[in-house]
Structure 1
């Protein structure tokens, strides 16, 4: 079978440290072209992988014969680039949040359906081994009824990791749409849906810009979420955890408490109500810090969905459901009222 020809649009940090590395390591993939509006950045990556460089994604799509595209652009371009690639007959792996609005997300889903192509959103938290194991324990009934949860994703901000540092698009509302909520919060919204196996119906939120200067996007957000069955809990997303990253989730159940990525040595700790404690060493969560898991398993799942013609594990519809939680949180913060999450 011939290799999948893949192009990466956007050559910033997420492409460099995740998508390109994982594509290059995949035996069924051939990286064909890269694109970035900063010509030097595109050229540098193109030389590294011995592929063609473009500064226009429209030109790339019109010129190259490719099977799939990774969209690693600033958030405001996720929908336009994804839709253009789908209409050009390519499968699409798009970074999160999938779009800047409900309408854009719907347009992406329609474009995938119309062209009979795969659309996957890169919510990598679902593939973290501790999260996979926790879902198994919840599904099997081992934890019993779930009562509550708390999840947080915070670090010192994208300036230490983004290709443009303090000048990054992450801090510009017209390009980012939202800040820590889009960078980190939507990951946890998706993770909670995955772990609990149900949808959220209501959100109350407080969203602030309190830690960063010269930006008009959020850097601290806390949500209270309620699921269809009445599970309630909190989600925090922050760019103000300056002394270190926190990427933990705790699930409080009838028979046990699950502590995910909360212990420095054991990625999952299960505390049973009978006093028994089980510790799992499953490797560290994906991280920008040293020692973090490097393979996010996003690319391999995307490629598998193409080669085996299956629905991607995080389809456009799934990505939209996680985005809806963030959109409801924005509305709640503005109205100062509890907001319904649209299905």
Structure 2
């Protein structure tokens, strides 16, 4: 079988610590090119992997040897570069959030459809062992009807992980568009949709900038979400959780509670109403913390859907629905109202919530 030839656009931390490492470990992949505006950075990465270096993504996209692209760029470039890659006949794996508006997201989905190429959004929390197990338990009725949830993602901020530290694009609104809500919150909106198999229908949010200096994007947000069937819960995203990060989710049902990544030793704990408790020993969720850069499985799923010609496991439509929750949170903050997601997105073509 011929290998899938891959190019990576953007050589920052997410590319170096996840995409490139996981492509290199996949036997079905050959990395052939990397691109970054920083000449020294792209030269160093290209030398490390023995591939061609580009400083202009448009030039990279003319390389007919490349089958697929990873888009690992600041948020405001996600749609532009993804659409260009799809139009050049490449499959695309785009980092989250997939876009900065519903119009951009819709254009990305249309480009994938028109060109017959795969578009996948890198929502890696779906592939965490505890989350996959929890989805099966919930679907099997282990905790009965779901009533509520809380899901949280917080750490000390991107300056601790971004290749550019405090000077990172994450803190510049013109490049990031949104702060902790786009960096972390969108992971959790995607996760809760995945776990419960229900869509978010209403969003209320308080979104603030109160922890970081010299930034125009949010660093703390608390949202109340209402899902189909009346399920309600909270979503929290923060760049102010220091020194201890939190990436936990708790699901409350009629028969018991499922705790995910909420215990230092057990990634999933199932507590029944009768007092019985089951503790599952599963691989821990990936973290940006030193020593916990474990495999996300995003790359493997992306490559498999290309090789097997199957549906993308996190399609553009799925990525958009998770982004829509974050867009609604911003709208809620601006208007100080509860936002009806269906009403907000009613003009969208081909996307049903």
TM value normalised by structure 2 = 0.96
- 1:88-99 matches, within 5 Å, as 88-99=88-99
Can you list the C-alpha shifts for 1:212-261, whole angstroms capped at 9, x where unaligned? 00000000000000001100000000000011110000000011100000
After the TM superposition, list the runs of 4 or more consecutive aligned residues in structure 1 that deviate by more than 2 angstroms.
290-293
**1:111: which partner in 2?**
111
Say whether the 8 Å CA contact 1:98–1:121 is kept in structure 2.
Answer: yes
Give the 3-state SS of the residue equivalent to 1:221 in structure 2: strand
Counterparts of 2:219 and 2:322, CA distance in 1? 19
Say whether the 8 Å CA contact 1:283–1:293 is kept in structure 2.
Answer: no
Shift of 1:143: 1.0
Aligned pair 1:166/2:166, yes or no? yes
Can you list the C-alpha shifts for 1:46-103, whole angstroms capped at 9, x where unaligned? 0000000001000111135200000000000000010000000000000000001000
Shift of 1:291: 4.0
Give the 3-state SS of the residue equivalent to 1:257 in structure 2: strand
Say whether the 8 Å CA contact 1:284–1:293 is kept in structure 2.
Answer: no
Counterparts of 1:286 and 1:136, CA distance in 2? 20
Shift of 1:306: 0.3
- 1:72-151 matches, within 5 Å, as 72-151=72-151
Aligned pair 1:261/2:279, yes or no? no
**1:26: which partner in 2?**
26
TM value normalised by structure 1 = 0.99
Counterparts of 1:293 and 1:109, CA distance in 2? 30
Count residues with an aligned counterpart.
343
Counterparts of 2:231 and 2:215, CA distance in 1? 34
Say whether the 8 Å CA contact 1:284–1:291 is kept in structure 2.
Answer: no
Give the 3-state SS of the residue equivalent to 2:234 in structure 1: strand
**1:69: which partner in 2?**
69
Structure 1: 5+ residue stretches without partners: none
**1:249: which partner in 2?**
249
Can you list the C-alpha shifts for 1:162-209, whole angstroms capped at 9, x where unaligned? 010000000000000000000000000000000010101000000000
**2:296: which partner in 1?**
296
Q: CA RMSD in A?
A: 0.7
**2:202: which partner in 1?**
202
Give the 3-state SS of the residue equivalent to 2:230 in structure 1: coil
**2:349: which partner in 1?**
none
**1:42: which partner in 2?**
42
